[in-house]
Amino acid sequence: MVPTPVEAAPIAGQLVPMAASGGQQQGVGRISLAVLIDYIVQRTYHELTVLSELLPRKTDMERKIEIVQFVSRTRQLFIRLLALVKWANSAAKVYKCSDIMMFLDQQALLFTDTADMLAQISREKLVNARLPNFSLPLAVDVLTTGTFPRLPACIRDRIVPPDPISESEKRSTLRQLGNIIQYRLVTSSLPIQMRNLQIENGRVTFHVNHEFEVSLTLMGDNATVPWRLLDIDILVQNKETGEGKALVHPLQVQYIHQLLQSRLIENRHPLHDLYNCLHSFCQSLQLEVLNFQLDKLVKERLGMCLRVMEYLPGRCLTIGYWRKDVKNYTTSDYTLSVQVDPTDSNKPLLVVHKPPINGSKSTEQAIKSEHLSIEKLLIHTIHERAKCKLQEIEASLEKQTAGNCVISGTPAVLFIPVMSPCITSEQLHISIDFLTGRVLCSMPFCDPALQVVKEVEVLLNGDKGDMEKLFSELRFQLMMNRIDRTVQHLFVECKTKLPIPDIDASPLAKLSKYKMYINLTRYSQFYVVVELNQSETDSKVIAPTYYVMTVKSISFDDAATDLPTPNLKVTSLVQFDTFAITHGPFTRAAEPSHDETPNLHKRQFSGGSDFPAKKLRTESWYYIPELAHSVAMCEQKIPFWMLSEELNRRNILHQGIEVECFGTGLVLKLLALPSSLLERGTKSLQKKLLSCAFRENDGKPARPWVVEFIFARAPLATLSSREQSARQHVYFQYDFIENKRIGDIVESFLDSWKQMANLYDSVLDFADYFDDSRDGLQNIVRLHSFNYKRLLLIYGADFSNQVSIEWSVPEKQFKLLFSMSTHGSPIANCHCITDTQLQHEFNQHRSIPQLLQVLHETYLPLMAVAKLPTNPLLAGSSNLARAVQSFLILPQSSTHLKIAFRGIYCLDVYCCSAGLVAVRDGAYSLFDKSKAMEGFTPTPGLKTFFNMYVDDSSVRHRSMTEDDNPPSPMESVDSFLAQQQPSVGSPAQRADGLRFHHPMTPPSNPLTPASPHTSVLHQQSYSASPGSGFPLSSPPAVTPSPSLQMRTPSPGTLLTSSPSAAFHVPSPGQGYAAPISHIHSPAFMQPTTDTSASPGRKSRSQQHPGAESGSPYPSNLPMQSPGPRWPASPSMPGPSPASRLIPMSPGHPMLQSPGDPGRNGMVGPGSRVLPQRSWAAAVPTLLSHQAFNVLLTPTVMQDYPAMLSCSPLERFLGCVFLRRQIQRFVQSEETLVALPTTEPGVVLMRVESMTCRVALQPSTQQILQLSLTPLPDFHEQWSAEELQVLETVFERKVVCPPYKPNAVHAFCRLLAVPVRVLKDCVQLLHLELVTP
């Protein structure tokens, strides 16, 4: 340790000097104070631990004495430690002196020791010291050559190895040694097993396959020099459980090496002795390997089946198998012994069987040493043993077999044909259980749990009993399985028993006990019974007999026993003539053959003896063609038999069940329909009918009925290529569910006949007018298809729309289906809007020409209406959570629509003839134009807006008197519309005569409206319209008006439902005056039963006078008015009831405003704008189809290209809607002050600094404009540019599509903010406008 410097004072933890014992300072020792304290603490802890262990063994007094002594010692020790610590802190000078003294003592000691050593050397060692002679030669060699060549030779001989011999010397030596070894082998005796040798590199190597390999050499060429054993390799392996490890330990190999080397010295036959020793060891090792494998096999898997009977190491191993008593395994009849050959020990191991296996040489061969496996040896042995046992069973069952038995396969299986003929899967398979030696029987074709096979197995394992009876039972079971397999692809169910209580009293009692019942699932009361009997000529052949049986369900009271399942009773049992069935016309069932190779599994159809039946199959004997054909025949003919019985019950004549040509199926043809069906429509259709036949569609699993009607050429020439032939085939298909009543099928057939008859009745009447070119129907419609079930017509501007007309049997009415004629069209048929109304009206009049005229007249208006957006908008109202539809289309009839805008405004649209549309404000009541309907609001300025679209073809002058004076409160829209004349060029009018008769009300002076008290009200059958709201009684003695006695078509009217039902869509026919019997369709639309009528019949001008003028009555016929005391007189506002009873037809004269009619029913262009009145929009405005299309077609305004595309009508209604929102908002907002104004349609308000005027743009009526005027006090604060920015933002950003009320509210609040804030907002809005 490094000494402490003299100058430094010792501190805690420094080294403390220790004095030497005896009072003399031999050396100063130092120890750290921390170490010293640690020692003292460890000592104290140790003494305390010892004390705690010893004190419990002593007495109380001794414990007290020991504790006191320990405390005293410890106290003294720590007192000394405390004194030492205190002294060390205050003894710095002592330390310095001590260090100086220690240093001086060390120096003195060194001087003394040096003097003593010099004196000793000089006196003792230097006296005898001599200097040796110098080795100058060695020094010269080292200095000159750098080496030391004069070392002794013994050092080189003992340390440095000699130089190795060369490769040539090695090869020469080994070649000479090989010759010596070869000479020794030639001159000595060599065992036969060791003839496989190889001499190489001076050694000879002997290789005995699967036993050992040994290498020898000779140490000289003398004949007495013994063999030298170099290497031994044991080749015995355990490949199953050895895991690649060596079976002999290296120490064992070393011992064998030493033993064999000692036996090679002084031995006359050393190589024989070497082979005997190694061969005996290898055989013992092989037996040990087999025993180890057997032990492992017994412990892990086959302990219950195998047993080691005897094991003698190095001699034999005996194994017992197939023991009889599993619980007490003492002996076994079958053993296997692996042993050394007792006659010649040099041979390989021998396998001996007990009892011997006859006829098998392979079992006597030696065990294969290349792969020692006791399991493979056992498998091979048991396989051969099982084959011998199966040969014995084959010999014992030779009388029961129906052919040659075969033993094949691994494990060996005996295949026994039970019946004749017999396929492989029906053979009885007999095998031997490898573990127990028991006989196992199976039959793949049958159920594994078949009791007969189990009984055969029991007999084969025990005493031979009545084996013949069991084999006979097995043949019957196989035949039943054949029957089941034969019909498994048919819709039948096989049963072996039926719930027949009194079977002994039924015809089934005469049959054998082996029979099967095949139930036809579609017809549960029919069964095919198969009886099985042994052939009289050969007992191994089973002959089936077929019967057809009918049953019926009986109640438990009728049954002999009370059974919980439904009981059956046999009603009939008829035997089949199998040959007649399978060799009938057009069919022959195939017979099995062993000579032919084809296997088609089908039936052969032949038309006569010229076509011999082919052999369809050569195997699969489980398939019985006679049975399959019989079941299929029953299943095919039973429904036809049931159908014929049902037709006979309904007195429908038919030809009976027939086989169709070429045997394709069965057919039932009808001769005539019952007379009860020959009504007005069916009589005409009956003349066209050529043939009617019932068939079954066998191509589908459900096998539905197919009824074929063959008609002569249809009365209409269509465009379909399938309908151009002289005969037309019509097919109907009826699903026949299992056990369904056949009467339902016949009912469906009669409904189909009525369906065609109803459609044909309308088509036959339509054909006369379509073929007549004077009617002009060929210009507006084309006949796409008519298949007697449906009439498909195409119409429209480019014939892109189509309508399908067919009779609905469940609903008993015509169904109209509207669609597009081109697939993938982006638009839908516009008449889908009024399809319900069109269908209802068509079912009322059933006139196809009238329907086509309605479709033609309403096509363009509905195309325009279809362009209106009907999608819901979330921003359509002030409540953002509620979606509002922009437009809602409510069809009232085929020619009358109501169009609602956002649930506030409503328009009535009437489709008229001559290309005109009448439009009015639908919010006004039909009874009082000064009152609005509940739920709707009148649209201000609507009349002015509509007049902007009135063109020369629809406008006529109206007098100032009528404009300024409201019409009579009893004047109705219908009486106004009924004054119009037919337009020139209408497809319903010709120069030589009027084909379409139009109802016409006698014209009246526009200043003196027609009286509402028309003479039609005297009819007692009159009833008010469903929406009239009050009853109308008929006053007596009122002469009928000629306007109500005319022949009037009835597709629709201009009337709507009750005004109180704003959004209710009434029934399409509620506007008809159905109770008035004398109002009917025109003569050309009335159905006729005269099939000989032609288009060249008398013209309507000859039949009805006045037809050229458009009415069958004089136009100047006066109208009579009832007395003033008639209820609902002019004191009660409302339309004339007579006018409401006048239906409107597609041929109705065009609608126009009241006034004097012009030439040819046309009026001149308007010369002024009508002043706005609250009742003005209630009077219909006539628009042409082109103007109406422009009104409803979405466009973009030229001055406002950034706006969304929408129709002029939507822009007008949107502006009116927003103007109404502004007006309501001004009244509810405190910051906005509403100002009075006399201008109609203007909203005037005042904010803090300006006056605001909101009004529609006069030129277009489609833009809501804002005009700002600063107040006098704020005139200098606002510039024209700033006001222009606000006005522009209002027009382009606020009152623009989609017309959001919240945007208007926000802008109004913006105008009401302080001037300074508003001017800042104007700057921001200006930037938004100028930003692209």
pLDDT at position 1028: 37
Residue 756 structure tokens: 């065609």
* Measured torsion, CA atoms of residues 628, 633, 639, 643, in degrees rounded to the nearest 10: 180
Quick check: 918 and 1151 in contact, CB under 8 A? yes
Alpha carbon distance 384, 357 (integer Å): 7
Stronger pLDDT, 1200 or 1195, i.e. the higher one:
1195
Q: Which two tokens stand for residue 383?
A: 């396989």
Q: Does the N-terminal peptide bond of residue 421 adopt cis geometry, omega within 30 degrees of 0? A: yes
pLDDT score for 835: 92
Supply the pLDDT for residue 681: 63
Cis peptide upstream of residue 161 (ω within 30 degrees of 0): no
Q: What is the widest separation between alpha-carbon atoms in the chain?
A: 192
CA distances from 1221 to 275, 1174, 1182, 1226, 1307 (A): 126, 20, 30, 9, 12
- C-alpha distance from residue 512 to each of 470, 494, 508, 910 (Å): 17, 17, 8, 86
Range from 106-115, 1044-1053, 1316-1325 carrying the lowest mean pLDDT:
1044-1053
Other Cβ atoms closer than 10 A to 913: 26
The 3-state secondary structure of 118-157, one letter per residue: HHHHHHHHCCCCCCCCCCHHHHHHHHHHCCCCCCCHHHHH
Which H or E run includes 687?
helix 680-688
Cα separations in angstroms, 56 against 61, 527, 1256: 12, 107, 121
Residues ≥6 apart with Cβ < 8 Å to 490 = 628, 631, 632, 635
Cα gap 555→565, rounded to integer Å: 10
Distance, CA of 957 to CA of 1167 (rounded, Å): 8
For the chain, give the mean pLDDT.
75
What span, in angstroms and rounded, lies between the C-alpha atoms of 326 and 436?
Answer: 9
Q: Using alpha carbons only, how large is the chain's radius of gyration in Å? A: 64
The amino acid that residue 50 corresponds to is V
CA atoms within 13 A on the CB side of 751: 17
Residue type, 848: I
What pLDDT is recorded for position 638? 84
Output the pLDDT for position 29.
Answer: 63
pLDDT at 1043 over 80: no
Chain-centre distance for alpha carbon 905 = 48
Provide the whole-model pTM. 0.54
pLDDT band at 848 (very low <50, low <70, confident <90, very high): very high
Would you place residue 1126 in the very low, low, confident or very high pLDDT band (cuts 50, 70, 90)? very low
User: What CA–CA distance (Å, rounded) separates 604 from 586?
Assistant: 8
Long-range contacts of 1300-1303 (CB under 8 A, 24+ apart): 1300/875, 1300/876, 1301/875, 1301/876, 1301/877, 1301/878, 1301/1217, 1301/1218, 1301/1221, 1302/875, 1302/878, 1302/880
Whole-number Å distance between alpha carbons of 1271 and 451: 117
Reported as a pLDDT band with limits 50, 70 and 90, residue 1208 is very high
pLDDT of residue 447: 64
Supply 699's token pair. 């191509």
Tens of pLDDT, residue by residue over 428-476, are 888 888 888 888 888 876 665 578 888 888 888 876 667 878 888 888 8
Task: Using DSSP bridges, classify how beta strands 884-885 and 887-891 pair: parallel, antiparallel or unpaired.
Answer: unpaired
Report pLDDT for 1285: 92
Terminal CA-CA length for the chain: 95
The enclosing H or E element of 18 equals strand 15-18
CA 783/CA 793 separation, integer angstroms: 5
CA distances to 409, 422, 442, 454, 478 from 415, rounded to whole Å, are 10, 11, 10, 16, 15
Q: Where are the beta strands (DSSP E) in 1091-1206?
A: 1181-1184
Strand runs labelled E in 346-476: 350-354, 406-408, 413-416, 428-432, 439-442
Q: In this structure, are strands 1242-1246 and 1233-1234 parallel, antiparallel, or unpaired? A: antiparallel
Q: What is the mean pLDDT of residues 1271-1282?
A: 90
Can you spell out the DSSP letters for 695-752? EE-TTSTT--EEEEEEEE--SS--S-GGG-SSEEEEEEEE---TT--HHHHHHHHHHH
Closest by alpha carbon to 14, among 27, 26, 2?
A: 2
Q: What's the rounded Cα separation, in Å, for the pair 133 and 519?
A: 140
Pairing between β-strand 727-734 and β-strand 705-712 as defined by DSSP bridges: antiparallel
Neighbouring C-beta atoms of residue 141, cutoff 10 Å: 15
Is the pLDDT at 700 greater than 70? The verdict is no
> In the structure, what pLDDT confidence band is assigned to residue 1090 with cuts at 50, 70 and 90?
very low
- In this predicted structure, what is the pLDDT of residue 1160? 37
d(CA 733, CA 749): 9
Q: Where are the alpha helices (H) located in 436-554, listed in sequence order?
A: 451-461, 467-486
Contacts 24+ apart (CB under 8 A), 950-953: 950/1166, 950/1181, 950/1182, 950/1183, 950/1187, 951/1165, 951/1183, 951/1184, 951/1186, 951/1187, 952/1164, 952/1165, 953/915, 953/916, 953/1162, 953/1184
Residues 6 or more apart in contact with residue 1213 via CB below 8 angstroms: 901, 902, 905, 939
Q: How far apart are CA 534 and CA 555, in angstroms?
A: 37
* Burial tier of 773 (Cβ tally within 10 Å: 0-12, 13-18, 19+): exposed
Which residues in 946-1050 belong to E strands, given as ranges? none
8 A C-beta contact, residue 1113 and residue 1042: yes
pLDDT of residue 826: 74
Asked whether residue 1135 carries a pLDDT value surpassing 80, the answer given is: no
Phi, psi of 1192 (to 5 degrees): -110, 5
Cis-peptide into 355, omega within 30 deg: yes
Q: Could you tell me which residue, 934 or 1078, shows the higher pLDDT?
A: 934
Q: For residue 483, what are the CA distances in angstroms to 347, 396, 494, 515?
A: 63, 31, 8, 10
Separation CA 832–CA 803 (nearest Å): 10
Per-residue pLDDT tens over the stretch 622-642: 678 888 888 888 888 888 888
Name the β-bridge partners of 547: 529, 575
Which of 916, 939, 932 lies closest to 1153, judged by CA? 916
Tell me the CA distances in angstroms from 290 to 85, 308, 365, 369, 412, one per residue in order: 87, 11, 17, 11, 26
Confidence grade of residue 598 (pLDDT, cut at 50, 70, 90): very low
Of 1232, 997, 1034, the C-alpha closest to 1126 is 1034
pLDDT digits (tens, 9 = 90+) for 7-65: 333 433 444 444 433 334 444 467 888 899 999 999 999 999 999 988 888 899 999 99
User: Which carries the bigger pLDDT value, residue 429 or residue 739?
Assistant: 429
Strand partners, 730: 709
pLDDT at 865: 93
CA 747 to mean position of chain CA atoms: 39
pLDDT of residue 771: 82
Whether the predicted pLDDT of 99 surpasses 80: yes
Cβ count within 10 A of residue 711: 20
Q: What is the pLDDT averaged over residues 1046-1073?
A: 37
- Res. 328 pLDDT band, cuts 50 70 90: low
pLDDT tens for 153-176 read 888 788 888 888 889 999 999 999
Pairing of strands 29-32, 197-200: unpaired
SS3 at position 248: coil
